[in-house]
Structure 1
């Protein structure tokens, strides 16, 4: 393996690990804010306990997300300096705004929320967690705008030997971004809803033996009601978010067909335009990667998913390869962005004979695992709502505990497989139709250096994973915290206390 391959593995390992924390942070921060709002409105300590319980899990996740996320930006300079040089004028703008605006917003107000329980008035303290939650969503705007530009490089031109930004507004109105942002936010709420629901239902089931008989302690009844509310709340959030994921995902697929027809053809194992527009649920490709045998398929569905018209014609990979050899990179309607058009001559000169087909098995199965795990999450939410209906309490069997343990991971891994499809399906491009991946690696970095850093990062991240999981499960098992009246300190000399 050369330095480029190992650099890709390193970036993939660190990014996939970091992204485990991202959807939890985006979704759970807002759900904690909602819980605190309910406490603020009702004064019921039940919701204060839930706020502090899930708030602690959120903080553990946030801390590890920050630590693992820092490495991502360093890698652009370490292993991908040519990419950074070529696209830095465009790609750097949204990343800079993410750090200067969004990250400082969320981190500053999160600090006020952590230390301000007895320092800030309740209304201002509540505003702090909302500002932190909104900051996470603003952060997602700039990160996804940067990534969407790699998928569809708008608002830029080729000049002075690199890509130069000509229209910043185009980055935020990029059709790929407008489809990806709501899809990712909804997917994040699926993960957070699943986490809240699963933890609540797991604790509720544990209380069932203590709820039998006539002399049930009031505290046990109170805790059961608290966990039942959390279970229903999380399950409802998961279901509502899943509707958003399905609607936005359908729109995103159609946009991807327009800007990256090869990616969507690979996701469907669709080799020839003449093969029709059947959607394959299961297929087997030949070793040469030129055709596939569809074992299970739905007639005409591929056309609907691609264009909105049932049975509509969809370009196949073999036809797209031929088109690229004759005409260069083109979007589905035959057009190009300004950067793709102005760089086309350089691309053909520097990278003749470039193979433009991604890894089809990865794209095909990542796409299906994304959808399948998402539907498992929906099924888990419906199961919880059924099991806690009319004040019922689920039985704490091993199967129930296993199901609740698995439930949060279904939408979480669906998020990860969705991004694996997005990034692997874009190959061989770093910037679609402009910069091949092999052109972006740092020229002065040796294979041994990249391999060493990949091993070190993998070991460090493995240690962080053990720490994260240990802390998460330790505080999850402890259950609801004891809370007292929240009163604002009037003594200005009173020391700051850490609320957790």
Structure 2
């Protein structure tokens, strides 16, 4: 197999596996802050138990995330030497900022979070939990900034020529606030928060179905459901804003996402379909003029299509980009519908009597993870053939010295090691879930109306 393709497969595999864990850490961090805050406000011990339980699971996801993330830094040097030289100044600044503003904050409070329950005052522990949560959020900021610069470069100039060319920062804040960074940061944050919220919903729905830890699970489920509802709806706005930005800054990517080939014509929006690249047609269910309306509020407004670009400057895997993008959007709409249905039944007082719905929530934890992965694949494959959009092509960025056999051998090793790590993660996660937040639930069921429960959390009454 071609060396470039192997290098891309290896990096895609390692980063996709790594990306399972940081979103969970961010999402669980918010829920931990809410649980601890509710305990501080109400003095209800169940919130304290929930905070401790989910902190243990947070520690597991954080540890696996750190281990799986280290490999990518080495891959930059071994497999993508030209790319590393080209973006070194940009990535060096972003990653240094992550170390100073994110990792130091997160690691500084992590010890207090994990081991300070009986050693510091409750408010100190709450501050530490907030610090860890904010650290994980800031860490995502700098990683997304670095990646967004590849999508929409800004605040730089090129030094050197040919193989020795590299991007040098001329304006740090222009680099940070490049045209796509803010939209993408918000979109990534919300995806992470949904991953954490639906994991909490999944675990406590499982307890409710099995009639275990009923009272405490109802409390956790209600809080996580509110978080999921708020952020799934918010994701609609960040997704729309991101699409508008892609239309301006990376029109070939947007055209691939919707299978739009005509150079300058109104564009339909497909709910699902299949792209036939050779005939430049899409078969599926569409809303005529839908994409034109979303971008310009006019169904007849022209949208730039793939034929407006030379074939070598447009994504080669159009159908793959189309499918990943639509998987992400479809799951986003399912999460909204599921969350709103849960809130409606909560308001009606019948939420926890619907066993079929609770079973759906048990397995729904997979949906945000699939959406996050699909969105990342759509964004990265849609950027092709560029590794730095409009400047450095992917086939020019990999290391010339590395061989296909070396990459294949290391890929097989990574596959084995990462599989073992994933099995270990599933085993430990299942062990903690089976054990539960405590040995036996001694509290009574609490199925208060929606407004009364929210008032209780906020006021302690």
Identify whether the pair has TM-score above 0.5, normalized to the shorter chain.
yes
Q: Structure 1 residue 404: deviation in Å?
A: 2.8
**Corresponding residue number in structure 2 for 1:197:** 201
Instruction: Map Cα deviations across residues 240-286 of structure 1 (whole Å, 9 max, x no partner).
Output: 00121110110010001111100000000000035522212344433
In the TM superposition, 1:343-492 aligns within 5 A as 354-386=312-344, 388=346, 392=350, 394=352, 402-481=359-438
SS in 2 for 1:164: strand
**How far apart, in 2, do the equivalents of 1:174 and 1:430 lie?**
16
Task: Say if 2:266 and 2:299, in contact at 8 Å, map to a contact too.
Answer: no
TM-score, L = length of structure 1? 0.83
CA spacing shift, 1:420–1:88, aligned 2, 3 Å: same
Instruction: Map Cα deviations across residues 344-402 of structure 1 (whole Å, 9 max, x no partner).
Output: xxxxxxxxxx44333101110001100111222223323444555566464696x5564
**How far apart, in 2, do the equivalents of 1:81 and 1:320 lie?**
28
Task: Say if 1:283 and 1:293, in contact at 8 Å, map to a contact too.
Answer: yes
Gaps (5+ residues) in structure 1?
208-219, 323-353, 484-500
- 1:280 corresponds, among 254, 270, 279, to 270
Instruction: Map Cα deviations across residues 20-66 of structure 1 (whole Å, 9 max, x no partner).
Output: 11211111112101101111122111101111111111111111111
CA spacing shift, 1:294–1:400, aligned 2, 3 Å: closer
Aligned length: 436
Higher-Rg member (1/2): 1
**Corresponding residue number in structure 2 for 1:182:** 186
SS in 1 for 2:383: coil
SS in 1 for 2:302: coil
Instruction: Map Cα deviations across residues 212-251 of structure 1 (whole Å, 9 max, x no partner).
Output: xxxxxxxx8xx42321111111111111001211101100
In the TM superposition, 1:69-88 aligns within 5 A as 69-88=69-88
In the TM superposition, 1:243-322 aligns within 5 A as 243-286=233-276, 288=278, 291-321=280-310
**How far apart, in 2, do the equivalents of 1:110 and 1:176 lie?**
31
**How far apart, in 1, do the equivalents of 2:47 and 2:126 lie?**
13
CA spacing shift, 1:156–1:57, aligned 2, 3 Å: same
**Corresponding residue number in structure 2 for 1:328:** none
**How far apart, in 2, do the equivalents of 1:293 and 1:42 lie?**
56
Q: Structure 1 residue 97: deviation in Å?
A: 1.8
CA spacing shift, 1:239–1:358, aligned 2, 3 Å: farther
SS in 1 for 2:117: coil
**How far apart, in 1, do the equivalents of 2:237 and 2:175 lie?**
23
TM-score, L = length of structure 2? 0.90
- RMSD of aligned C-alpha atoms? 2.0
Task: Say if 1:197 and 1:381, in contact at 8 Å, map to a contact too.
Answer: no
Which is bigger in relative contact order (C-alpha 8 A, separation at least 6)?
Answer: 1
Gaps (5+ residues) in structure 2?
441-461
CA spacing shift, 1:46–1:84, aligned 2, 3 Å: same
CA spacing shift, 1:373–1:401, aligned 2, 3 Å: same
Q: Structure 1 residue 81: deviation in Å?
A: 0.8
1:234 aligns with 2:192: no
Task: Say if 1:150 and 1:432, in contact at 8 Å, map to a contact too.
Answer: yes
